[in-house]
Amino acid sequence: MSTHDTSNTTVRRTRGRTESQRPAENGSIRQHDNHTNMSHATLRNEDMERMKAELIRHVQSRLNELLEQALSDSMQSLCRNTHTHPDHTHTDDRHKPDQGKVFVARCSLLDELFEISHIRTIYHMFIAALLLFIISTLAVDYIDQGRLVLDFDLFYYAFGQLGTVVWAWTLMLAYALLGPYYVLSVWASLNHSRGWRTCVSAAAALTLCAAQTSMLGIFPVYIVLHYQLPPASRFIIILEQIRFVMKSYSFIRETTPAVLKNTPQKGEPLRYPSLSSYLYFLFCPTLIYREVYPRNPYIRWNYVGMNFLKILASLFYLYFILVRLCIPVFTNKSNQPFSTRTFILALFHAAFPGMLMLMLGFYAFLHCWLNAFAEMLRFADRMFYRDWWNSTSFANYYRTWNIVVHDWLYYYGYRDFLWLTGHKLRSVATLSVFAVSALVHEYAFTLGFGFFYPVMFCTFAGIGDKLLGAGDAALVDMQLPVTSA
């Protein structure tokens, strides 16, 4: 009996100790759970803060775009109301020649995108690819020849005869600056001071046509063919020829209506653009002439230096692409007889290097080169391109790839054609713009490379016109808010 009681007492004590240990174990489990919950809550808060920052940045970007577009639309509306005579109760629905592009201070799209760390990753990937090209080329040269070969013979060949290029370009610049300016100046003074306006206008037009044809038409072609310039030097002359033609035409096109409209009163001087404004226009990165542009308050010379450094890096990038991906492949193909198999293999071998060259050309010229000159001249409107990489059609790609040239073609080609025909023949206007663009591209490539291979003509005049046909021409006519936004 006592033994049974003793055993019961021992069991109770053991059970009591066990039950007294359970709250302590439960407490440690609760502490661990609380610590885990706090860690999860901290991670959730960090994720929420990160998402909130991303959302705020996205909303701010969209609001800035909408604000810029609204500001541009209001400025356009103000310009139209200012140019409309108050006594006229009925206005013409057609575009007026004096309603042109509105310049607004804004940054380039890539400069804004590179502020985002994820987009900068793509930029760093291209830098890594350049370093890989350099290391690969040096390693192959060292293994094949037992030494490092850094002669850059391709550069020396492509940019040969730079002395000829410099003096020919200087003559073209001197004419583009002084020729149209002083011919129009003489015409403007005689047009308002004499009675025979028709004869004065005809003489000025003939003089300008002859001078433009001689100095900006025949002279560059003669330099290229007579001196047998290498490819890069040829492209410098031909592209500068096209740029001077487009810039001088814009100056003539914008100045002539202003001179005809503003007749000076007796004793008043003739209002004519200053030579300094025209000189500024010849170097600023736009093809639409204005006497005044939006300007930045100061120059960021470190930004200018970085852009020129990127252009130099892009040239080296192009060199290594040609040396590693193009020259070996096409050297082997040139030793084989031409066949369908050879042609298809060469086409696919050229696809990847061609894509890289296209992107390098876009980045080096449309972004770095134009931004460098815009910064040196404090030119504030940096919309040289739009987000063409998001295009879902060739029609949108053609409009957003090169805004500088697109504006010139739109205002002086498409819109002026519609204005002259009373907004009729939209399809003819579209076809004409694409035909001009195709011919100019083919002209540049034919003289630059020295042979005729109409790929650009088929791309622009063929595919482009089909994709941007008469049904889509209305969208081009509505492009004014887009290119000016």
Which residues are tagged catalytic? 441
Helix, strand or coil, per DSSP, at residue 152: coil
DSSP per residue, 169-216:
HHHHHHHHHHHHHHHHHHHHHHHHHSS-HHHHHHHHHHHHHHHHHIII
Which residue, 270, 251, 273, 250, is CA-closest to 262? 270
- At 320, the amino acid letter reads F
Distances (CA, A) of 33 to 20, 26, 30, 286: 21, 10, 5, 65
CA–CA dist 456, 479 (Å, integer): 24
- Let me know: does 68 contact 109? Beta carbons within 8 Å: no
Given phi > 0 = left and psi -120 to 50 = alpha, else beta, which region is 161? Answer: left
The dihedrals phi and psi of 284, each to the nearest 5 degrees, come to -75, 150
Given phi > 0 = left and psi -120 to 50 = alpha, else beta, which region is 338? Answer: beta
